Chain A
Amino acid sequence: MTRYFTKDHEWISVDGDVATVGITDFAQNALGDITFVEVPEAGKAVSKGDTAAVVDSVKAASDVYAPVSGEVIEGNAALEEAPELVNTSPESEGWLWRMSVSDAGELADLMDEAAYAAYIAEL
């Protein structure tokens, strides 16, 4: 399983042609207390860069973009009752959705963990 990162602070873990997407610890820290998460429905087709989820914090509502194109397999149902999982476990239990990856070539545009760490260090 390989994990990639976007400049918009999403992470995507890819296992073959299936991927799990969430927001990074940096992102959840910037957003503050998360009170609601709208995850995409299974079967929804998303293109790279589309708004796929919305994360609502006490401060603001933020779009979460699809890092690559594909079809949503499932949204994280646990977030309906426990949106705070995105704060407490952003890169594990607080995942947002799973999806198929239709064009693995799109992953080439993303950062690996070291590149992302360097990127946020500059912000």
Chain B
Amino acid sequence: MSDTYNIDAGEEAEIPETLTLPLDAWHRARGGRMVEFAGYWMPVQYEGIMGEHLWTRENAGLFDVSHMGQLVVSSEDEDQQDAVTALEALMPADLSILKVGRQRYSLLLNETGGIIDDLMITRWPGGFFLIVNGATKWDDIGYLREFLPDDITLTHRDEFALLALQGPRAAEALASFGIAPAQPQIVPVDQLSFMQAGPYVWNGVELHISRSGYTGEDGYEIAVPAESAEALAEMLCTHEAVKPIGLGARDSLRMEAGLPLYGHDLNEEIDPISAGLSFAISKRRRAEGGFPGADRILTGLSQGTETVRVGLKLSGRQAAREGAEVYSGEDKVGVLTSGGFAPSLGCPIAMADVPAALGAPGTELFIDVRGKKLSATVAAMPFVPHRYFRKGAAK
């Protein structure tokens, strides 16, 4: 017996040895099965991917995502207008209207409109806080240093760990530990709205908390000083709804939520429109352009793209994985960019790039797995509905 397809490890040729993260010993003590990912040792699972996945959908899962890059971009001027201008030259978000404490999903783009990385950006009073992918953070830092003007400051907050608490009971759990707003205008953690963020204090420790995540569930991402990460993780897991969850379930959760994974569903060849990320091109930027690859991206928006990223539901129980070829009848039309078993649905799902004409939900396709043609149907994403918390919205 042998593994023929493994959980994908990050490709980090520049980093000679596998590094450890602040919670390394904590994961091992809790029985985490450690694998190399994005150049770090990380837990792929504790008790089992299926159970951890379902636990997160029903309760709350604690994920260590400290491999991700935490960056701050700031300028000398008080209103950060210079930082806005500099960042808007590299990404298609409208940062001029982003208020302090609000978060957006955005993209670093290359000159041809390909995606260098996807990221979360939050406006702080004194700059912009970016969370970028672990496997790409060193390249991102190099890219930003090269293309940001000299009067813009880039800080890598590598002394912070990052935890994600995700699931329908995440708010109840996080609110139970006396984490206090650091400033009078900041709301308690359970009153934060989806994509809202702020500074908090817990036992004298500074936390930065946003209501966001990568599972499709309500939840939070918490930046914590590395030396306090273990105490925070330990405390969160004392809540009866919270269990630590590994990378394996993180991947199946994000797939069910229809969320792309950089390096797999997104890369420097794929533009945001083909990738189904039109929402990341802000209204003003659509009108004005002025970001890398704007010609190709705006043409794609108005005229459509040759290929589209689609979701696929497979019939039967056999999963198909990244790289498997997709067929329409006898014709090869694309490859899977992600794929695996969806624990909440009880069937395999996948994502693929296919010609736009084959992108409509209900389209019947085939996936070649070891010479066997599995039938699959194009399905609307997310596969599992998002359950984000929007304050003021009907629940």
Cα separation A64 to B50 with both chains bound (whole Å): 22
Docked complex: A8-23 residues within 8 A CB-CB of B: 8-10, 23
Cα separation A38 to B50 with both chains bound (whole Å): 20
Q: Is A83 an interface residue (CB 8 A)?
A: yes
Residue from A8, A33, A38 having most chain B Cβ neighbours under 10 A: A33
Of the stretches A39-47, A50-58, A97-105, A110-118, the one at the interface is A50-58
Docked complex: A68-102 residues within 8 A CB-CB of B: 83
Which residues of A are found within 8 Å of B321, using beta-carbon distances?
61
Q: Is A109 an interface residue (CB 8 A)?
A: no
Q: Could you tell me which A residues sit within 8 Å of B by CB distance?
A: 8-10, 23, 27, 32-33, 35-36, 38, 54-56, 58-65, 83
Across the interface, do B50 and A63 meet the contact criterion of CB distance under 8 Å?
no
Which residues of B are found within 8 Å of A8, using beta-carbon distances?
1-2
Cα separation A61 to B318 with both chains bound (whole Å): 9
Across the interface, do B1 and A60 meet the contact criterion of CB distance under 8 Å?
no
Across the interface, do A38 and B341 meet the contact criterion of CB distance under 8 Å?
no
Cα separation A116 to B4 with both chains bound (whole Å): 23
Across the interface, do A61 and B319 meet the contact criterion of CB distance under 8 Å?
yes
Across the interface, do B3 and A60 meet the contact criterion of CB distance under 8 Å?
yes
Q: Tell me the minimal C-beta distance from B36 to chain A in angstroms.
A: 14
Across the interface, do B48 and A32 meet the contact criterion of CB distance under 8 Å?
yes
Closest residue of A by beta carbon distance from B340: A58
Which residues of A are found within 8 Å of B317, using beta-carbon distances?
35-36, 56, 83
- A-B pairs with beta carbons under 8 Å apart, 22 shown: A9-B1, A27-B1, A32-B45, A32-B248, A33-B49, A33-B343, A35-B341, A38-B318, A58-B50, A58-B340, A58-B341, A59-B6, A59-B44, A59-B49, A59-B248, A60-B7, A61-B4, A61-B319, A62-B1, A62-B3, A65-B1, A83-B317
Across the interface, do B1 and A61 meet the contact criterion of CB distance under 8 Å?
no
Q: Tell me the minimal C-beta distance from A27 to chain B in angstroms.
A: 6
Which residues of B are found within 8 Å of A10, using beta-carbon distances?
1
Closest residue of A by beta carbon distance from B321: A61
Known: A58-B341, A59-B49. A35 touches B319 (CB 8 A): yes
Q: Is B75 an interface residue (CB 8 A)?
A: no
20 other A-B residue contacts (CB within 8 Å) besides A59-B44, A61-B5: A8-B2, A9-B1, A32-B45, A33-B48, A35-B50, A35-B317, A35-B341, A36-B317, A36-B318, A36-B341, A54-B370, A58-B53, A60-B3, A60-B6, A62-B2, A62-B4, A63-B2, A65-B1, A65-B2, A83-B317
Q: Annotate B311-331 by CB proximity to A: 1 below 8 A, 0 otherwise.
A: 000001111010000000000
Cα separation A23 to B316 with both chains bound (whole Å): 23
Cα separation A65 to B318 with both chains bound (whole Å): 19
Cα separation A61 to B50 with both chains bound (whole Å): 15
Cα separation A27 to B3 with both chains bound (whole Å): 10
Across the interface, do B49 and A32 meet the contact criterion of CB distance under 8 Å?
yes
Q: Is B210 an interface residue (CB 8 A)?
A: no
Q: Tell me the minimal C-beta distance from A41 to chain B in angstroms.
A: 13
Which residues of B are found within 8 Å of A56, using beta-carbon distances?
317-319, 341
Closest residue of B by beta carbon distance from A23: B1
Q: Tell me the minimal C-beta distance from B254 to chain A in angstroms.
A: 14
Known: A33-B49, A33-B50. A58 touches B318 (CB 8 A): no
Docked complex: B325-359 residues within 8 A CB-CB of A: 340-341, 343, 348
Q: Tell me the minimal C-beta distance from B389 to chain A in angstroms.
A: 28
Across the interface, do A55 and B341 meet the contact criterion of CB distance under 8 Å?
no
Cα separation A88 to B353 with both chains bound (whole Å): 37
Q: Is B66 an interface residue (CB 8 A)?
A: no
Q: Tell me the minimal C-beta distance from A120 to chain B in angstroms.
A: 13
Across the interface, do B6 and A58 meet the contact criterion of CB distance under 8 Å?
no
Cα separation A54 to B1 with both chains bound (whole Å): 9
Q: Is B307 an interface residue (CB 8 A)?
A: no
Which residues of B are found within 8 Å of A27, using beta-carbon distances?
1
Which residues of B are found within 8 Å of A38, using beta-carbon distances?
318
